[in-house]
Structure 1
Amino acid sequence: MADAPQDVAHGVTPHLVEAEIGHARPNSVHNPRSNMNNAVGRAPIEEMLEAGVNVGLGNDGFSMNMMQEMKAAYLLHKLALADPRAIPADLVLNMAFQQNAHIIDAVFRPFAPTFPPVGELSVGAAADIVLLDYLPPTPLSSGNFPWHLIFGMDAHHVNSTMVAGRWLMRNRQLLIIDEARIHARARELSEALWKRM
């Protein structure tokens, strides 16, 4: 198996990360807020990248707000390493977009060889698109976009989403689920769960 990609879940246990790095191009998903919440440590992102690990960005179910996850990844390593240069904004975006797409492809392509490419806007790609309503307080350019995304934009700016060419939300209206029914059922189930605890 040494020639096949291996997966590292959180990458917060250094000796396990080192063991996995011995494999060809392992994949790891960094979940900063979940790791902080559970006090399990901090993944050594820069070292992992230098060693050839594909490091993506996830949330481990902590919340579904990847913009907050990007902000946490950007700030956590600066604090932990006492270095304001640690994990720059463009690296965070690379993890969230390019690396995540690479990991999805590496993990799922063997099972779905005809699945369209992800992580790119091109003919034949999966057409996963998020549209935001964002009025930048300062000029927005390709040079400062990473900081606008990390510090200016948030989930409340999301207006519409498309997955595999299908609109899931348009103008902030969910099109494929009954949100009110799901919220009511979630409240009902959570009350039952709390009574059992």
Structure 2
Amino acid sequence: YLLHRLANHDPRVAFMEAPQLLLENNAKICERQFGIRLGELAEGRPADLAIMDYQPPTALSEANFLGHLIFGLVDATVDTTVCKGKILMQGKKIVSMDEERVAARSRELAPQMWQRLQAL
């Protein structure tokens, strides 16, 4: 909601409009662009979700959930992700690749990449 206010230079965008901006409009945009219905967990729909590792600084309730969603979860780390019903990340580890091997290879190739960038 803050980005919307900033991008449109519109201070009238209120905190209470955030659920529609975040939870409804994004799903409608995706449906229009990609032709699939998103935004709810239901039979026959893509089962895409992220489970966050979030330790709320205040009690979490129905009354303050939106505040936690907008201001708290933004800094939370992702623990688990599911895409089309398939677990891609679990326990903060990508299940389909050896992250340590990828990181080691990245460290190996980094000097070459920096040389190429400096040559530009």
Q: TM-score, normalised by structure 2?
A: 0.71
Extract unaligned runs of 5+ from structure 2.
none
Write the distance in 1 (CA, Å) between the matches of 2:110 and 2:19.
35
Quote how far apart the aligned CAs of 1:94 are: 3.5
Which structure has more helix as a fraction of its residues? 2
Conserved? CA contact 2:54–2:76, under 8 Å: no
User: How big is the alpha-carbon RMSD for the aligned residues of Structure 1 and Structure 2?
Assistant: 2.9
Write the distance in 2 (CA, Å) between the matches of 1:192 and 1:95.
43
Count how many residue pairs are aligned between Structure 1 and Structure 2.
Answer: 116
TM-superposition CA deviations, 1:33-88 (whole Å, max 9, x none): xxxxxxxxxxxxxxxxxxxxxxxxxxxxxxxxxxxxx7x627x629x56x4xx433
Conserved? CA contact 2:54–2:73, under 8 Å: yes
Conserved? CA contact 1:77–1:87, under 8 Å: no
Matches within 5 A, 1:144-183: 144-154=64-74, 156-183=76-103
Partner in structure 1 of residue 60 of structure 2: 140
Partner in structure 1 of residue 31 of structure 2: 105
Q: Tell which has more relative contact order, 1 or 2 (C-alpha 8 A, sep 6+).
A: 2
Give the one of 66, 77, 95 matched to 2:6: 77
Matches within 5 A, 1:124-135: 124-135=44-55
Write out the 4+ residue segments of structure 1 that deviate beyond 6 Å after TM superposition. Answer: none
Extract unaligned runs of 5+ from structure 1.
1-69, 110-114
Conserved? CA contact 1:160–1:172, under 8 Å: yes
Write the distance in 2 (CA, Å) between the matches of 1:125 and 1:106.
15
Q: TM-score, normalised by structure 1?
A: 0.47
* Identity in percent: 34
